[in-house]
Amino acid sequence: MEVQELERKAIAVELHDGLLSDLAAVNLSLGAKIASLEETGHPLASELRKLLTIHQRTMKEARRIMNRLRPSVLDELGVIPAVQGLCREFAELHPHIHIECKLEAKADEIPDSIKIVIFRVVQEALTNSAQHGRGTLVKIFLRKFSDRIEFIAEDNGEGFNLEKVKMGVGLQSMQERVKISGGEFQIESKIGQGTTIRATWRCS
C-alpha cells in the first residue's frame, strides 16, 4: 500500500507541475486574446470564448483526477479536511444524493498508519454508493472510542443479497486495505434496505 500511495503521489505531482501548469498558461493566454478581440468586436471572439469554456472544463477534470490520485490537502492539512473535501466533491457531483458527513474523531487521535487507509475507504465507499446504491442519502461517520476507531458508511440505496452477489473490485479493495492495516471490515446489505460498510481498528 505504501508503494501504491507513493506512485499515486508521484503521478499527481507530475499532473500538477506538468499538465495543469501548461493548461493554466494556455488559459491565461487565450483569455487575454479573447478580451482583446472583444474590445474590437471581432467575430472570432465568441467562438474562442466557447473554446475557452471547454478548455476550463478540461482543467477542472484534470484537477479532479489529480485530487483523486492524491489530494494535496491530505499531505498539507491532514485526513479530516481531506475526507471533508471528498464529501463536498460528492455533493457537487451528485446533487440528487444528500450526504451527511459526521467526523467526530480528531486528527491526532488517528494513528498515522491508518490515515491513508481511512481516506481510501471513504473514497471507495462514496464511489460505490454513487455507482451502485441508487439511493438518495449517504451517511459517513468517523468516530474515536476509548478502545477503537470506527468508520461507517450507510446509504438507503437498493442494497443486494450478500450470499448471491460477489463483491466488486471496490468492496474488495476496501476489505483488503482495512485487513492489511490491522482492522476489521464488515458489510451489511439487504435488497431494498440499503448498505452499511463498517471498518474498525482497535487501539489502546
Domain boundary among 44, 70, 96: 70
Are 195 and 114 within one domain? yes
Q: What is the pLDDT of residue 152?
A: 96
3-state secondary structure of 148: strand
Mean pLDDT, rounded, for 181-192: 91
More confident residue, 99 or 168: 99
- CB atoms inside a 10 Å sphere around CB 94: 15
CA atoms within 13 A on the CB side of 136: 1
- Look at residues 78, 86, 187 and name the one whose alpha carbon lies nearest to residue 199: 187
- CB atoms inside a 10 Å sphere around CB 136: 12
Say if residues 110 and 78 touch (Cβ distance below 8 Å).
no
Are 85 and 63 within one domain? no
Q: Which domain holds residue 90?
A: 78-202
Are 13 and 56 within one domain? yes
Are 54 and 107 within one domain? no
> Per the structure, how many domains does the chain have?
2
Say if residues 192 and 158 touch (Cβ distance below 8 Å).
yes
Are 62 and 83 within one domain? no
pLDDT digits (tens, 9 = 90+) for 98-156: 999 999 998 889 988 888 889 889 988 998 888 887 889 999 999 999 889 999 999 99
Say if residues 78 and 85 touch (Cβ distance below 8 Å).
no
Mean pLDDT, rounded, for 181-188: 93
Are 86 and 64 within one domain? no
What is the Cα–Cα distance from 163 to 142, expressed in whole angstroms?
28
149 strand-pairing partners: 144, 201
Are 49 and 22 within one domain? yes
Q: What is the pLDDT of residue 95?
A: 92
Are 48 and 91 within one domain? no
pLDDT over 70 (residue 204): no
pLDDT over 80 (residue 164): no
What average pLDDT does the structure give for the chain?
87
Are 46 and 117 within one domain? no
Which cell numbers in the block locate residue 30?
487565450
What is the Cα–Cα distance from 179 to 175, expressed in whole angstroms?
6
Percentage of the chain modeled with pLDDT above 90: 44
Are 84 and 147 within one domain? yes
Radius of gyration of the chain (CA): 21
pLDDT digits (tens, 9 = 90+) for 44-72: 999 999 999 999 999 888 888 877 777 77
- Whether the CA torsion 34, 37, 39, 42 is positive or negative: it is negative
- Whether the CA torsion 105, 106, 110, 114 is positive or negative: it is positive
pLDDT band at residue 190 using 50, 70 and 90 as cut-offs: confident
Widest CA span of the chain, in angstroms? 70
Are 131 and 63 within one domain? no
Domain boundary among 40, 70, 100: 70
Question: What is the rounded (10 degree) CA torsion for 92, 134, 174, 81?
Answer: 20
Domain containing 106 — which CATH number? 3.30.565.10
Are 95 and 42 within one domain? no
Continuous segment of H or E residues that includes residue 36? helix 21-40
Question: What is the rounded (10 degree) CA torsion for 151, 72, 87, 63?
Answer: -140
